[in-house]
Structure 1
Amino acid sequence: MTAQDSSVLGRPLRRKEDRPLLLGQGRYLDDITLPGTLHACFVRSPHAHARLLRIDGDTARIMPGVETVVTGADLASETTPIRMAPPIEGLKPTEIVILPVDRVRFQGDPVACVVATDRYLAEDACETVQVDYEPLLAVADFDAALAPGAALVDETLDSNLVSHQTYAAGNVERRFAEAHSIVEAQFRQGRQTHAPIETRGCLAVWDEGRQHLTMHVGTQVPHPYRTQLAARLGLSESQVTVISPDIGGAFGQKIALYREEWAVAALARRLRRPVRWREDRVENLMAASHAREDWVRTRAAVDRNGRILALTLDIREDFGAYCFFPANYLARVVAMILTGPYRIQDYNFDVRVALTNKCGNGPMRAPMAITSWVMEGTMDAVADALGLDPVDVRRLNMIRPEDLPYTMPTGQVLEDVTPRETMELALKAVDYEGFRQRQAEDRGKGIHRGLGLCVVVESTTYGSAFYKSAGIPGSGHETAWVKIEPSGAVNASVGLMASGQGYETSLSLAVAEGLGVRPDDVDLKLGHTDVAPYGMGSRGGRGGTAGGGVLLLAGRDLQAKILAIAAGLLDLNAAGELRMREGVIERHLGGNWVATGLTLADIARTAYLDPLRLPPGMEPGLETHRAYDPPPMTYSNSTHACEVQVDIETGRVVIDRYLIVEDCGTVLSPVVVEGQQHGATAMGIGGALYEEVIYDAAGQNLSGSFADYLLPTACEIPSFEIISHHTPNRRTPTGTKGMAEGGVMGATGAVPLAIADALRPFGIRVERQPVTPMMIRSLLRERS
């Protein structure tokens, strides 16, 4: 048996985290109770833009059970603003105070906080707080924000254009002059929000004696969150502990330090009592954070065969009222990776981001979701313009295996990806030629079928070098520790925090692989800043690659020490012929691995309790700490094929078939990977067909409930066919490439492209989403 035979990676083990959840023994924020806890509720602005003239909380203050009523002015002296000012050309610095003092910027802006002994009392008291507003003109979309004389969302800026970056590679003008045709395409993605099952909330506990704050909060990034919170309260990081319990969904919404959480922490310190807050669903939909809302235009210079000679990209993004993240962050990533699987070297982009009187934007699962729709939609537009088959256009322009590693025009490097292979597998699986024949036959019967093909290159693990080159502040490294107790029990930790991804399962596999133990014997400790090492947390598709990678490396480091101790106990000169498998020390003899009689428990007892038997100079104990900074970027890839039927009488869209061919590298846990593929693709379908936050011209949110903000249910989501085509990444410790957001990208592209294909006989171009029945009927009426 070889060492490869002992690998545990890729085993279809049951998810370790599911047992307590299925038994109803999960520990979410609302399960944490402390005596004497107070409850906070917020008074929110009904206006999108207004001056604050007066806030009168006197009536609320004398109500039974009310402890205090505070405003931004009350808390300003106890806190410092959040300043977002990375030194990036074209990005304007912004600041956020704990609560507005003189002006509100969007409907739902929190203006006061009531703290009472009971949540219901606090909510009732909020109704009595009198706020006098002077309504101001609101800017409710990108064009209005940049119109001459537009009201300023942030009065410290000279315009609402908060970020503007351009880039050019190659000789775009020359290629356009040489082109046979210029093909233009437009895309618009509606505003969305994350809608996690568990809304935002926190429980802040101040220890006056120790001068220490414990913050229980569902956060994806415990350590960066702690750093930000401590700074805002004028505390050192050693005075703050962040504990993240089980999280009922996050999807990027639980990364930032929000003003409500910040205020609750400040109030716990002021009142010297535990204070908790839980937002309701309306608050979450209106005031948590939003995402998307992009307008994109591409112009492609092409030859007569459909080869793209040059490409230009214009992006306009509506970022809302506040910058909890650098305003260039989300759209800039789209621009940098847009060309994806295609051979394009002459390329330029213009990215503009505006502030508006809406809830502020942040990352949502696949902040670059629009990327594949834009690129694949451009390919379809080229095919339409030249009368070519869209698959032939893709084949002509696509990167070939011999082109790898391939440097994109923005300098990003693609390696160990298989876009051509996944596309061909998808085409074969859906019987592309057979579909086209069936499609033509059905059109004669009044049945309108369409096939959307979306080739995805998913940016996953953002290393520190990517952030630096992209002009985005931040680090991409991750840290971990692995510790063996004297009994042989295995503990491990990493700076990530799970919100449903299955980290306890997949990361235990990485530890087990590196160390040589059973995955069930690994106890993973996450989400506690006093226990876990400082890491950058969970975002994007970095969990398996950055988190799993560093845990594998830490396990290997510790295994080397274990084997060195074993070699000494066995009177061997070196550990080269030893290994540990499932906690048992084995020796390679006569071509076979033979048990030596030593176990991990034996080694651990020696390391801790009989250190004089250790090799000379070796420290007692068995623990290791490791940091790992991934490559500048890792990429996974996939191809999504979606077949739909469109009822032209009603505009109804039915997904008949959905196929995914995925290459995410070495799979840590196939159960987790499949779940991530299903969940991400379902989210992409929701955005493509149903979900949109809609504001009117006055900045009023018209989609503040699930009656208006539509989410797909199990009835609307199809079954997914998944074909695995996993090839390892040669630069990551585990061979993983990362995944979890590509499904959003694939569905965001495949679904509208399939609808456009079904409506092609009517000369209709689908240029925005969600593609609702009303929108389809409107497009058909325009063509009738």
Structure 2
Amino acid sequence: MFADDIPSPPNCLHAVFVRSPYAHARIGAIDSAAAFALPGVAAVLTGHDLAAHVSTQRMAPAVDGLQPMDMPVLPLDAVRFVGDPVAIILAETSLAATDAAELVDIAWEVLPAISSVDAASAPQAILVDPMVPGNRVSFQSFATPGLEAAFARADRVVEARFGQQRQTHVPMEPRSGLAIWDNGRQHLTMQFGTQAPHPYRTAVAARLGLKEWQVTVDSPEMGGGFGQKIIPLREDLCLAAAARLLRRPVRWRETRGENLTAGLQAREEMVTTQAAVTTDGRILGLTCAIDADFGAWSFFPANYMARVIAMILPGPYRFKEYGYNVAVWLTNKCPSGPMRAPMAITSWVMDGTMDAIAQALGLDALEVRRRNSLTPDDIPWITATGERYDSLTPLATLEAAAKQLGYAALRLEQVDRDSSERLLGIGLCTVVESNTYSSAFYRDAGIPGSGHETASIRIEPSGAIIASCGLMSSGQGYETTLAQTAAAGLGAAVGDIQVQIGNSDTAPYGMGSRGARGASAGGGALYMAGLKLKAKLLAIAAAMLDLNSPDSLDMREGLILRQVAGVWQESGLSLEQVARTAHLDPLRLPPGIEPGLHQILAYDPAATTYTNSTHACAVEIDRATGAIRILRYVAAEDCGTRINPMIVEGQTHGATAMGLSGALLEHAAYGADGQALAGSFMDYAIARADDLPAFELLHHDRPSPSNPAGIKGMSEGGTMGGIGALLNAVNDALAQVGARLDAQPATPARIWAALRQAQSAEEGTVLRR
């Protein structure tokens, strides 16, 4: 049951937002008289109406180089991007609200718009936010002490450029929800799809001046989130305030156009690397400069997404000298937020730099990677930025993917084939994916919250088991995998466990689903809680069997087993019998054992968990049209303990498809005037089934030592690898004719233009000769 399936409660109002048609404009008088005159319209609320009921969000964590930003629930004086919400219409039907929104008359004073980083950084540029000088909202730099010396002793410095276009999340189900205010109890219920019910509740309560026990977040099933549904956005807060103010339920259904242009966007970054290398292609040092387009408002700390890119850029390669400069700029575009793999460009940048080194030195791209890759002897490895890799297998996945793809044979074919009509390209990309971020990471990034997750397992007298944690599924299959991890720790049958997630009143407080932390943080916490509760069950079982110790006992599939002469045998006891004793016959419990069976456990990873994979693909490019055909696609991955292999496969397929779709097609484009140009699927293209290849998956799993179950996250690496493998394959093909794509998307038109440019340059060289 998705949010839109929930029946409207009696007396429910429907909300529609009046949005700015301009990228940058001052808000003059707002005349809503004509809108009020329509039958069924209950209220028209502006930013000034709501300011007394919803506090302004101030984004000002103590991070060096980060400028503070304030954001009211609705703009008070000026709008900053096309789609900025200005007023909320509340009516008896959604049709009446939609009609009324068309009649709200606003006196606009249109201002010049900033539509690019170049425009934002220009001298005397108009300010997107008057409080952010020069439009640079964040700047951080870093360099290891030996970086300059590494460049001084290099045989060559190789430079490469990479650009990623602005994209958006495109969940199957746009945002929607229902806010219900109970005036008698002074209680707010938010039925909104959210990936993080408890942090969502905390934010809503704080912004509305409520205690957290006055707010219940009940997240229904979600048709995708991908980072867009983590925090309460302004529309959610407007609904909550309107329900409280009007004492009536309020619901909202986001249109696809609203979602594409105003629901959060991501990924617009430009990166330049310089690699100090030896003549045999070994990296001595690396620098990168990142410029990120953050959009108009700050829902997240502006340093966050770009910082992750810089932090993990060295990836699977063995060099210690590294430095970066990261600048984040405000523009008059939809605000940025995390999107599945917010560091998505990282692996393309690093492995694309490897390809640039190979091309500059006349070396084989696979061999350059081998010479620089971390080996088993290097693990554990501390990166230049202080990150610890305690369980990676990058060289193993690289070799496996290259072998499965038939790398050597493809290189021979590339040399022998007639490339006058079609170019063959081979792309490799090894990914180091950060997941299960530690509390230290969130603190250093300035993000409220932590890396911990809390699990609860409760066994009722009948033996029925209720497992819960602070995650919320948006299609990942948590209800299955979390039941499996709880069952594995407890020794219970999966069919006896119900997983309850998504309701802030019944689930323990946790950090939610984000950053590929579901299995390792949530599953890890449930596994460890199961182990603890199992120890109590076995202690009770030992007393019931008149044993002095539970050392010879175990529980599997809900049956108590006893080891006799080295052989496990059924003891005659079941989980149901032990549970009944624990709850209903406490006098039979051994000394020191409390009645009942309920275990709560919080798991806070000591450090960020990392996993790895290598993606490899072969593509063919039609020189006449620029069209790409993916011939083969292989992914070799190490995701630690696989709880459910089918779900792992599905997550890898989905993440890779998302990466390929973004690299091939997607573009949340804006005009020079800041006008949004991709407000429907006619303009914002996403991959269809026939655009994507079959995925060949290989596994080289090495359990993580950071939690007892050996679990690693793995749901974002496919996005990173898909981008890198495809773009590297495209550029490998184009390099044969002297062409290159420095920026995504790799559409036929852009590839064709690159081919024509290279042809013109070649023809000009011939004429000069």
Q: What TM-score comes out, normalization by structure 2 length?
A: 0.98
CA RMSD after TM alignment: 1.0
TM-aligned CA deviation for residue 760 of structure 1: 1.4
**Which residue in the other structure is 2:344 paired with?**
369
Partner of 1:16: none
Structure 2 distance, partners of 1:504, 1:725, is 26
Between the aligned partners of 1:710 and 1:223, the Cα distance in structure 2 is 34
Q: 1:507 aligns with which of 476, 482, 490?
A: 482
- Cα–Cα, structure 1 residues 216 and 471, in superposed 2: closer, same or farther, change >3 Å? closer
Q: In the alignment, what sits opposite 1:420?
A: 395
- Residue from 331, 334, 338 that aligns with 2:309: 334
Structure-2 separation of matches of 1:648 and 1:368: 32
Is 2:623 the counterpart of 1:636? no
Amino acid at match of 2:161: Q
Cα distance between partner residues in 2 of 1:445 and 1:595: 72
Structure 1 residue 473: deviation in Å? Answer: 4.3
Distance (whole Å) between structure 2 residues aligned to residue 501 and residue 740 of structure 1: 9
User: CA offset at residue 260 of structure 1?
Assistant: 0.6
Q: For the residues of structure 2 that align with 1:444 and 1:320, how far apart are their CA atoms?
A: 42
Match of 1:494 in 2: 469
CA distance in 2, matches of 1:761, 1:656: 18
The question of 1:249 aligning with 2:224 is answered yes
What is the CA–CA distance in structure 2 between the aligned matches of 1:190 and 1:444, rounded to whole Å?
Answer: 29
What SS does structure 1 have at the residue aligned with 2:149?
helix
Whether 2:708 is the aligned partner of 1:745: answer no
Per-residue deviation, 1:642: 0.8
Label 1:135 to 1:656 Cα distance change in 2 as closer, same or farther (>3 A).
same
Paired residue secondary structure (1:691): coil
Are residue 79 (structure 1) and residue 42 (structure 2) matched? no
Q: What are the within-5 Å matches in structure 2 for residues 128-139 of structure 1? A: 128-139=103-114
Deviation of residue 170 (structure 1)? 3.1
Q: Deviations over 1:118-142 (max 9, x none)?
A: 0011001101111110000110111
Residue number in structure 1 paired with 2:356: 381
| Match status 1:676 vs 2:651 | yes
- Aligned equivalent of 2:679: 704
1:91 aligns with 2:66: yes
- Structure 2: which amino acid aligns with 1:118? T
- Please identify, of 472-481 and 650-659, the stretch whose mean Cα deviation from structure 2 is larger: 472-481
- Higher mean alpha-carbon deviation, 471-480 vs 418-427, is at 471-480
What amino acid is aligned across from residue 424 of structure 1 in structure 2?
E
Kindly provide the amino acid, as one letter, of the partner of residue 642 in structure 1: C
Aligned to 2:43, the other structure's residue is in SS state strand
Give a deviation string over 1:586-639, Cα, whole Å, max 9, x none. 100122111111111111111111111111232111101000001311111111
Moved more, 722-731 or 361-370: 722-731
**Aligned residue number for residue 42 of structure 1:** 17
Alpha-carbon shift at residue 28 of structure 1 (Å)? 3.6
Distance in 2, matches of 1:29 and 1:367, equals 28
Looking at structure 2, the residues matched to 584 and 341 of structure 1 have their Cα atoms a distance apart, in angstroms, of 45
Question: Equivalent residue of 1:748, what SS?
Answer: helix
Q: Secondary structure at the match of 2:449?
A: coil
Change (3 A) 1:28 1:79: closer
Could you tell me how far apart the structure 1 residues matched to 2:592 and 2:152 are?
Answer: 71
Aligned equivalents of 1:32 and 1:85: distance in 2? 40
Q: 1:472 to 1:262 in 2, by over 3 A?
A: closer
CA drift of 1:766 comes to 1.9
Give the distance between the partners of 2:688 and 2:379, measured in 1 at CA. Answer: 41
Shift, 1:687, TM fit: 0.7
Q: Encode CA deviations 1:726-749: one digit per residue, 9 max, x unaligned.
A: 111112121011110000000110
- Where 1:67 maps in the other structure, the secondary structure is strand
Q: Measure the CA separation in 1 of the matches of 2:540 and 2:237.
A: 49
Which residue of 2 is the match for residue 736 of structure 1? 711
CA contact (8 A) 2:27 2:106 kept: yes
Which of 182, 206, 221 is 1:207 aligned to?
Answer: 182
Match of 1:779, SS state, is helix
User: Segments of 4+ in structure 1 off by > 6 A?
Assistant: none
What residue number does 2:144 align with? 169
1:424-480 Cα distance to aligned partner (Å, 9 max, x none): 111211221111111222235643111100011111110112233455543000001
Q: 1:553 and 1:29, CA in 2 relative to 1: closer, same or farther beyond 3 A?
A: farther
Aligned partner of 2:767 in structure 1 is none
- Write the mapping of 1:525-564 to structure 2, written as runs, cut at 5 A: 525-564=500-539
The amino acid across from 2:556 in the alignment is R
Letter in 2 for 1:700: Q
Pick one of 390, 396, 399 that aligns with 2:371: 396
- In the alignment, the residues of structure 2 paired with residue 759 and residue 392 of structure 1 have an alpha-carbon distance, to the nearest angstrom, of 20
Shift of 1:158: 2.2
Which residue number in structure 2 is paired with residue 186 of structure 1? 161
Quote the residue 1:6 is aligned against: none
Partner in structure 2 of residue 62 of structure 1:
37
Which amino acid letter does the alignment assign opposite residue 710 of structure 1? A
Equivalent residues of 1:462, 1:631 under 8 A apart = no
> 1:162-212: per-residue Cα shift (whole Å, max 9, x none)?
000000113222221211111000000000000111101120000000000
- From 251, 267, 273, give the equivalent of 2:248: 273
Count of aligned residue pairs for this structure pair = 759
Counterpart CA distance in 1 for 2:529 and 2:418 is: 59
Asked whether the equivalents of residues 29 and 217 of structure 1 are also in contact (C-alpha less than 8 Å), the reply is no
The residue that corresponds to 2:333 in the other structure is 358
Tell me the SS of whatever aligns to 1:112: strand
Q: Check 1:339–1:730 CA distance in 2 against 1; reply closer, same or farther (3 A cut).
A: same
Q: 1:32 to 1:619 in 2, by over 3 A?
A: farther
Structure 1 window deviating more from structure 2 (149-158 vs 550-559): it is: 149-158
User: Of 223, 227, 234, which aligns to 2:198?
Assistant: 223
Output the CA distance in 2 between the equivalents of 1:179 and 1:603: 69
Q: Deviations over 1:260-319 (max 9, x none)?
A: 110000000011110001110000001000000000000011111111111101000000
Question: In the alignment, is the contact (CA less than 8 A) between 1:478 and 1:495 conserved in 2?
Answer: yes
Residues of 1 paired with 2:416 and 2:248: CA distance?
72
Q: Structure 1 counterpart of 2:544, which letter? A: L
CA distance, structure 1, for counterparts of residue 481 and residue 402 of structure 2: 31
Q: CA deviation at 1:643?
A: 0.7
Per the alignment, in what secondary structure is the counterpart of residue 598 of structure 1?
A: strand
Tell me, yes or no, if the aligned pair for 1:199 and 1:279 is still in contact at 8 Å: yes
Q: Secondary structure at the match of 2:429?
A: strand
Q: Residues 782 and 307 (structure 1 numbering): CA distance in 2 closer, same or farther, change over 3 Å?
A: same
TM-score by length of structure 1 reads: 0.96
SS where residue 571 of structure 2 aligns? strand
- SS state of the match for residue 28, structure 2? strand
Q: How many Å separate the matches in 1 of 2:195 and 2:176?
A: 13
Partner in structure 2 of residue 296 of structure 1: 271
Could you say which residue in structure 1 is the equivalent of 2:84? 109
SS in 1 for 2:103: coil
Matched, 1:51 2:26: yes
Question: Aligned residue for 1:144?
Answer: 119
Q: Give the superposition deviation at 1:523.
A: 0.2
CA–CA distance in structure 1, aligned partners of residues 658 and 510 of structure 2: 27
Contact 1:563 1:575 in 2 (8 A): yes
1:233 correspondence with 2:244: no
Shift of 1:31: 2.6
1:339 counterpart letter in structure 2: P
Q: 2: distance between equivalents of 1:734 and 1:587?
A: 24
Is the Cα–Cα contact under 8 Å of residues 200 and 230 in structure 2 kept in the other structure?
yes
| SS of residue matched to 2:391 | coil
Residues 82/471 of structure 1: CA separation in 2 closer, same or farther (3 Å cut): closer
Amino acid at match of 1:715: D
Cα separation, 1, equivalents of 2:57 and 2:7:
29
Cα distance, 1:69 vs. partner? Answer: 0.6
Q: Does the 8 Å contact 1:286/1:359 carry over to 2?
A: yes
**In 1, Cα distance between the equivalents of 2:282 and 2:7?**
60
2: CA distance between counterparts of 1:576 and 1:253?
Answer: 48
What amino acid maps onto 1:460 in structure 2?
A: N
* Residues 133 and 698 of structure 1: CA distance in aligned 2, closer, same or farther (over 3 Å): same
Q: Distance in 2 between matches of 1:662 and 1:699?
A: 41
